[in-house]
């Protein structure tokens, strides 16, 4: 714990990434989740370290067989399909108010150059050799599978039989890095978080061991050509992981500023790629490892797994049209402990919205401004307030739910202070004290919205515009209208 805090204090830049999303996926709140978490941290660090010292990257993974299949199905050329779909993804994140610094596509020219350069380095380093791959491959996963991964002959996640593949491929010597990786994880307890994922990776290394894996495909046309064998394209994961390096400005003067990444936010289903393949690839290319990989959990929708066949994927765009961006951010970061699994239900979403945002934050803002307008000519005294809760350690260790729960109970206590002091009665006997009480509450509310800014950027700014430099701006807009 101490180590994390120390790291944060000495941190002069912050580079955070989300997974890049398969372009053929239909964007749902699961994708919004990783991206909103990264956005929250990017906003926090921009305020702390300065805008120029934060890099936040998200984007799309396009060089996969899945893209080819989806383009065919849509009767479009692969180029048209990926261009149109990437734009759609980017538009969704824009609508959600995501402040990425770069939206990377694995078809970007600089990324192709990065992948080829690194492949060449790894090859020159003697870590790539030719072999025959024969076995099972799940296109849904873009990964090789073993018989014992299957349930009734099908991939348990994709409910499809994997393809049987036999081809001559190039292999990466992952096995060479097994001991080094194990010791690195043991020596750097913060490298993989949360703890449960760290244990999972360690146990994988200890029980299954690391096997070399094929990093090229012979039969696929679409993808990045190997620099040392242009008859093959790079395996999509080898290509995709390198997006983090490309976006840091690999090959330019900026690279030393940003690399290594401070944090990769990933879903728990892709830790093998990020915590086993990725470190070995970086070592082989002579690059440092990211400071941390943090795997978040999954959530169910009304207790059910999100799935195409159930048709229960929730479109984040629809949700924010009704409730606003901050409501979605609040629910995802407050209701689900980051790193654990959780559940999403529209009923619960609506209840939390009404109780915490409309009744607590929204109501406090509106009562307070109305009373100050009435009792003190739309003014309040600016007084220094002592924070009842310091949130920096919690936000930097990704305890978003703790931050929000603490800040909202602080808001609760401000609502309680109004009830207790009854300004509407107090004003009759002691107008001066009424103003003192209300001013103190207004200044505490402002401090809370300062802390809430990374989480609820839109409403924090609205509150700050209402209470500004000792003056209340008359504002008839309801921050959070209530919904049944
Ligand atoms: Zn699969």
Residue 161 Cα, ligand 1 centroid: separation in angstroms?
8
Number of C-beta neighbours around residue 342 at 10 A: 17
Residue 183 Cα, ligand 1 centroid: separation in angstroms?
30
pLDDT band at 1 (very low <50, low <70, confident <90, very high): very low
Residue 306 Cα, ligand 1 centroid: separation in angstroms?
15
Pick the CATH number of 2-296 from 3.10.450.50, 3.30.70.1250, 3.30.930.10, 3.40.50.620: 3.40.50.620
3-state helix, strand, coil in the chain (%, to 5): 50, 15, 30
Look at strands 128-138 and 163-172 and give their pairing.
antiparallel
pLDDT at position 318: 87
Residue 142 Cα, ligand 1 centroid: separation in angstroms?
7
Residue 160 Cα, ligand 1 centroid: separation in angstroms?
7
pLDDT at position 135: 87
Res 4 pLDDT > 70: no
Q: Is 1 exposed, middle or buried (0-12, 13-18, 19+ CB in 10 A)?
A: exposed
Share of the chain above pLDDT 90, in %: 84
Residue 446 Cα, ligand 1 centroid: separation in angstroms?
49
Task: List, for residues 462-481, the tens digit of each pLDDT value.
Answer: 999 999 999 999 777 889 99
Res 55 pLDDT > 60: yes
Q: How far apart are CA 457 and CA 53, in angstroms?
A: 20
**Reported pTM:** 0.94
pLDDT at position 310: 66
Residue ranges in 62-187 assigned as alpha helix (H): 65-73, 78-95, 109-124, 178-187
DSSP-assigned letters across all residues of 270-292? GHHIIIIIHHHHHHHTT-PPPS-
Residue 192 Cα, ligand 1 centroid: separation in angstroms?
24
The residues, any chain, with a CB within 8 Å of residue 456's CB and separated by 6 or more, are: 326, 329, 330
pLDDT at position 308: 65
CB 242 within 8 Å of CB 210: no
Task: List, for residues 63-110, the tens digit of each pLDDT value.
Answer: 998 899 999 999 999 999 999 999 999 999 999 999 999 999 999 999
Residue 290 Cα, ligand 1 centroid: separation in angstroms?
27
Torsion of CA 297, 302, 306, 312, to 10 degrees: -150
SS3 193: strand
Task: List, for residues 28-43, the tens digit of each pLDDT value.
Answer: 888 999 999 999 999 9
pLDDT at position 9: 53
Q: Which 8-state DSSP code applies to residue 251? A: T
Residue 148 Cα, ligand 1 centroid: separation in angstroms?
13
Residue 308 Cα, ligand 1 centroid: separation in angstroms?
14
372, two tokens: 């100050």
Give the residue-averaged pLDDT of 218-223. Answer: 88
Residue 223 Cα, ligand 1 centroid: separation in angstroms?
20
Pick the CATH number of 345-472 from 1.10.10.10, 3.40.50.720, 1.10.730.10, 2.60.40.420: 1.10.730.10
Res 348 pLDDT > 70: yes
Number of C-beta neighbours around residue 283 at 10 A: 19
Residue 145 Cα, ligand 1 centroid: separation in angstroms?
8
481, two tokens: 């209208």
Q: How far apart are CA 12 and CA 247, in angstroms?
A: 18
The better pLDDT of the pair 24, 426 is held by 426
Residue 293 Cα, ligand 1 centroid: separation in angstroms?
23
Q: Which residues lie at CB < 5 A from ion ligand 1?
A: 138, 140-141, 155, 157-158
Give the residue-averaged pLDDT of 249-277. Answer: 97
Among 268, 298, 353, 326, residue whose Cα is nearest residue 460: 326
Largest CA distance in the chain: 89
Given the structure tokens 């018989």, which residue do they identify?
147
Calculate the average pLDDT of the chain.
Answer: 94
Res 238 pLDDT > 90: yes
- Domain boundaries of the chain, sorted by first residue: 2-296, 345-472
Number of C-beta neighbours around residue 187 at 10 A: 8
Mean pLDDT is lowest, of 14-23, 104-113, 136-145, for 136-145
pLDDT at position 433: 97
Residue 110 Cα, ligand 1 centroid: separation in angstroms?
30
Angle between helices 457-466 and 431-452 in degrees, nearest 10:
150
End-to-end CA gap in the chain? 43
Q: How far apart are CA 445 and CA 462, in angstroms?
A: 12
Look at strands 293-296 and 192-193 and give their pairing.
parallel
Q: How far apart are CA 317 and CA 71, in angstroms?
A: 24
Task: List, for residues 353-404, the tens digit of each pLDDT value.
Answer: 999 999 999 999 999 999 999 999 999 999 999 999 999 999 999 999 999 9
pLDDT band at 299 (very low <50, low <70, confident <90, very high): confident
Residue 329 Cα, ligand 1 centroid: separation in angstroms?
30
432, two tokens: 């001066």
């Amino acid at each position: 714990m101490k180590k994390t805090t120390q790291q944060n204090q000495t941190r002069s830049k912050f580079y955070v990434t989300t997974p890049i999303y398969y372009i053929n996926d239909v964007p749902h709140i699961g994708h919004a989740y990783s991206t909103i978490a990264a956005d929250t941290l990017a906003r926090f660090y921009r305020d702390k370290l300065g805008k120029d010292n934060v890099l936040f990257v998200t984007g799309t993974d396009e060089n996969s067989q899945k893209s080819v299949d989806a383009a065919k199905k849509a009767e479009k050329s692969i180029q048209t399909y990926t261009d149109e779909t990437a734009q759609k993804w980017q538009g969704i994140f824009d609508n959600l108010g995501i402040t990425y610094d770069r939206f990377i596509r694995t078809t970007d020219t600089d990324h192709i150059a990065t992948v080829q350069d690194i492949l060449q380095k790894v090859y020159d380093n003697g870590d790539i050799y030719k072999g025959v791959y024969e076995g099972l491959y799940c296109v849904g996963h873009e990964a090789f599978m073993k018989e014992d991964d299957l349930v009734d002959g099908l991939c348990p996640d994709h409910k499809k039989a994997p393809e049987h593949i036999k081809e001559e491929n190039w292999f990466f010597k992952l096995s060479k890095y097994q001991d080094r990786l194990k010791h690195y994880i043991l020596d750097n307890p913060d490298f993989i978080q949360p703890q449960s994922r760290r244990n999972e990776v360690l146990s994988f290394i200890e029980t299954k061991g690391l096997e070399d894996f094929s990093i090229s495909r012979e039969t696929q046309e679409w993808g990045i050509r190997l620099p040392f064998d242009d008859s093959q394209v790079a395996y999509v994961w080898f290509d995709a992981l390198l997006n983090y390096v490309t976006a840091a400005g690999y090959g330019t003067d900026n690279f030393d500023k940003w690399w290594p990444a401070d944090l990769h936010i990933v879903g728990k289903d892709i830790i093998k790629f990020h915590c086993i393949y990725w470190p070995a690839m970086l070592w082989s290319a002579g690059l440092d490892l990211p400071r941390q990989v943090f795997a978040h959990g999954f959530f169910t929708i009304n207790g059910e797994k999100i799935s195409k066949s159930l048709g229960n994927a929730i479109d984040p765009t629809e949700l924010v049209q009704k409730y606003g961006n901050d409501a979605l951010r609040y629910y995802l970061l407050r209701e689900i402990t980051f790193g654990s699994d959780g559940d999403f239900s529209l009923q619960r979403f609506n209840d939390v919205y009404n109780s915490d945002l409309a009744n607590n934050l929204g109501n406090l803002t509106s009562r307070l401004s109305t009373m100050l307008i009435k009792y003190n000519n739309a003014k309040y005294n600016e007084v220094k307030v002592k924070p009842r809760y310091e949130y920096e350690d919690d936000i930097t260790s990704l305890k978003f739910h703790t931050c929000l729960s603490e800040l909202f109970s602080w808001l609760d206590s401000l609502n309680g202070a109004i009830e207790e002091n009854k300004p509407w009665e107090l004003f009759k006997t002691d107008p001066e004290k009424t103003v003192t009480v209300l001013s103190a509450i207004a200044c505490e509310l402002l401090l809370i919205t300062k802390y809430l800014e990374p989480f609820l950027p839109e409403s924090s700014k609205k509150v700050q515009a209402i209470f500004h430099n000792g003056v209340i701006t008359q504002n008839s807009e309801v921050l959070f209208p209530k919904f049944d």
